[in-house]
Structure 1
């Protein structure tokens, strides 16, 4: 999800200053989005969003400190956010891609049925991915001389096991969410 849509989603949840948005992007969860958290880029994006009419701002006077722009969603911004959230979701090959998490977070603006459909789409993709993962093809590799083949196979097994466990954990997490949403 592009930075502008993530910022738009947060401004849609509550009025925010650029500093509030930067602080969130710098948080542990914000860093997981993979989006840039540099203040200059955030403010450039906010200025562009204002020019596009998606947000506007009021100045909050701060005695002894610089005034703060408090950004709010406009009708055009709400339309843009809903347009973006209505685009079909295609799961990334990488379960760690933050697109799903951002879309899921912004289902607060959608119906429960749309939220469930998003989770099912992700869950179906991850279950299929896990099945393919389990059926991996192990073949002999032409390792260079000096590479301990037995040790290399074990290292690859460890990496594969770690990735498989992470993927299965993601599937179980999605199953828990779906169960909660549908009961």
Structure 2
């Protein structure tokens, strides 16, 4: 009978390589919400004084109205009501959970209508494709998403299958 001895060091190396490959597959880092260039062009930090107040009134507070479309519920990071409107403060990387629910007596949520946009005045940058991999049913659930530091205006919109749309604006502050 011929037996072949197994080198214990080779076994350990194989286990280590397998473990590292498994971690790489299951714990891939999330794509950054903004590239550094996008963050620089969308960062609201340079707006101060009257220009900041005008921006808040025209873009964050002035755009609030009752909606008839699906509800947008940000579970985390936590949202606060401030003088600048609905504000999300977080650090990077950040976990995110946003749930979309139909209104009572409303039509089902149409997740294909989801739009997430970074805004600064007339400048708009679609971020929707960066969120698509994290959509699970009627929820966006992202873990460890890198976000460059800054102050950003995010606009989230979603419609139901009947075409009724909700548009919400948020101030995102990343420290």
TM-score by length of 1: 0.20
Q: Which protein is richer in helix relative to its size?
A: 1
Q: TM-score, normalised by structure 2?
A: 0.21
